[in-house]
A and B are shown apart, each in its own frame.
Chain A
């Protein structure tokens, strides 16, 4: 059995074990990038969405420009721009922190548009009913609009989260060693496809978890229409 596996994988199991340990450690980098991006981009996206819907025209135009640039250019180029163009490293940012900044700004743009669609999808009558009952603007937003918005935006948000899992691999362009970068390094060193395969399985598992979280959340909010 062991012999069969070793010949199938093209390397001895001890090496496979070493690779696996190394990759699991590096997966923390990927997870870090994923969670920090969400931590900042989810609230920032909401602020951007509100700015985009502002009646104050200059703000609206500024945000439109931001959305166009962030969504209209590749995230990979944005990463290069922040590291090699703005040289954030000179201001004390690590490569990882620079990657987080670029990811946050990029994903906030996508989230903003999803939030905006959600906010506009909550019927005007809901706001009017709240207004007549005397709710303040912030009460109306946080108690009436936001809960209904969350339900509406879950499916598109699920898409974005899964894309983000895979997009973390782009951070290697500014030499953040995350799981894909390590996989291709090991692929060259070991002359084997096994590390790349392991990386693939890692992404798959992570997205399976993301997907499960979203379907659970959708079920939880199924009690109303």
Chain B
């Protein structure tokens, strides 16, 4: 059996009175691509943000391999591990945002080297060679001295992917990576992710691109109302959904 990179059990998260996650359990195996689909407000992004320490869970348990991130009984308050452990966990994952969030005051190259140098403590030379290799991979070698404002959205997102990959994460999360892009630019991002999938990069992709979820991922989770409604083989879930809710959500996709 494949090694589990991330396991989450019974995660609950509320914002005030609003219960966003109502007991979510999922795991991510080494080398697999997991897509999370579902309507807006279903908690997909919150799940990703909880997994990447941008939000704190109320209860449940999240662990990366044998590193425990947080644990807590329902109704109580989840206890987070000590800061050094959390910092170790941060090195396990990368996150690609919907809005790229590149650092505007750094060149493309420095966007990719800064964390390598400051956080991973690599030498400048090593960081730059890693960055150049990744830029080549995402097809932006000639842009290393450009600033983010000089790039198209698709190019910015490819830099953001390179920035995340430079830290050698065990798992890479994508939070609707193409939602801020037009269809033409969407294609270039999906191509990059597809390429990573072929290299067996472990990835969790929150997406509205159903065809992409079906063709690229190994497993799909359909979420609605803070719960996992359906989970399984992407072809099964997308072409042949069992639950009524999934069918209703996918009806629009199947029409076109």
> CB within 8 Å of B: which residues of A?
123, 125-126, 128-135, 139, 143-144, 147-148, 151, 223-225
Indicate the member of B97, B103, B105, B119 with the most A CB atoms within 10 Å.
Answer: B105
Judged by a CB distance under 8 angstroms, whether B101 is at the interface is yes
Judged by a CB distance under 8 angstroms, whether B54 is at the interface is yes
Q: Are B99 and A126 in contact (CB under 8 A)?
A: no
> CB within 8 Å of A: which residues of B?
52-54, 87, 90-91, 93-95, 97, 99, 101-105, 114-115, 118-120, 147-149, 163-164, 167
Chain A residues with Cβ under 8 A from B147's Cβ?
Answer: 223-224
Q: Are A128 and B97 in contact (CB under 8 A)?
A: yes
Report which of B99, B105, B115, B148 forms a contact with A133, defined as CB distance below 8 A: B115
Chain A residues with Cβ under 8 A from B119's Cβ?
Answer: 133-135, 139
Closest to A221 in B: B105
- What is the CA–CA distance of A148 and B103 in the complex, to the nearest angstrom? 9
- What is the CA–CA distance of A133 and B147 in the complex, to the nearest angstrom? 19
- What is the CA–CA distance of A134 and B118 in the complex, to the nearest angstrom? 9
Chain A residues with Cβ under 8 A from B115's Cβ?
Answer: 133-135
- Given A134-B119, A135-B115, A126:B91 Cβ within 8 A: no
Q: Are A143 and B97 in contact (CB under 8 A)?
A: no
Q: Are A132 and B99 in contact (CB under 8 A)?
A: no
Report which of B95, B101, B167 forms a contact with A126, defined as CB distance below 8 A: B101
Chain B residues with Cβ under 8 A from A129's Cβ?
Answer: 95, 97, 101-103
Q: Are A126 and B97 in contact (CB under 8 A)?
A: no
- Given A128-B97, A143-B118, A133:B163 Cβ within 8 A: yes
Q: Are A224 and B104 in contact (CB under 8 A)?
A: yes
- What is the CA–CA distance of A130 and B163 in the complex, to the nearest angstrom? 11
- Given A139-B118, A224-B147, A224-B149, A132:B104 Cβ within 8 A: no
- What is the CA–CA distance of A123 and B97 in the complex, to the nearest angstrom? 13
Chain B residues with Cβ under 8 A from A131's Cβ?
Answer: 53-54, 90
- Given A224-B104, A224-B149, A135:B118 Cβ within 8 A: yes
- Can you list 22 A-B pairs, Cβ within 8 angstroms, ordered by A? A125-B101, A128-B97, A128-B101, A129-B102, A129-B103, A130-B103, A131-B90, A132-B90, A132-B93, A132-B95, A132-B164, A133-B90, A133-B119, A134-B87, A143-B114, A143-B118, A148-B104, A148-B105, A224-B104, A224-B105, A224-B147, A225-B149
Chain A residues with Cβ under 8 A from B120's Cβ?
Answer: 134
Chain A residues with Cβ under 8 A from B90's Cβ?
Answer: 131-134
- Given A125-B97, A129-B97, A147-B105, A134:B91 Cβ within 8 A: yes
Chain A residues with Cβ under 8 A from B164's Cβ?
Answer: 132-133
Closest to A122 in B: B104
A-B residue pairs, 6 tightest by C-beta: A133-B115, A129-B101, A125-B101, A134-B119, A225-B149, A134-B90
Q: Are B52 and A132 in contact (CB under 8 A)?
A: yes
User: Nearest Cβ in chain A — how far from B91, in angstroms?
Assistant: 6
Chain B residues with Cβ under 8 A from A123's Cβ?
Answer: 101
Q: Are B118 and A125 in contact (CB under 8 A)?
A: no
- What is the CA–CA distance of A197 and B90 in the complex, to the nearest angstrom? 64
Report which of B53, B93, B94, B148 forms a contact with A224, defined as CB distance below 8 A: B148
Closest to B54 in A: A128
Chain B residues with Cβ under 8 A from A133's Cβ?
Answer: 90, 94, 114-115, 119, 163-164, 167
Chain B residues with Cβ under 8 A from A148's Cβ?
Answer: 104-105
Known: A129-B97, A135-B119. 5 other contacts (CB 8 A): A128-B97, A131-B54, A131-B90, A147-B105, A224-B149
Report which of A126, A134, A223 forms a contact with B103, defined as CB distance below 8 A: A126
Chain A residues with Cβ under 8 A from B94's Cβ?
Answer: 132-133
Chain A residues with Cβ under 8 A from B167's Cβ?
Answer: 133-134
Closest to B94 in A: A132
Closest to A148 in B: B105
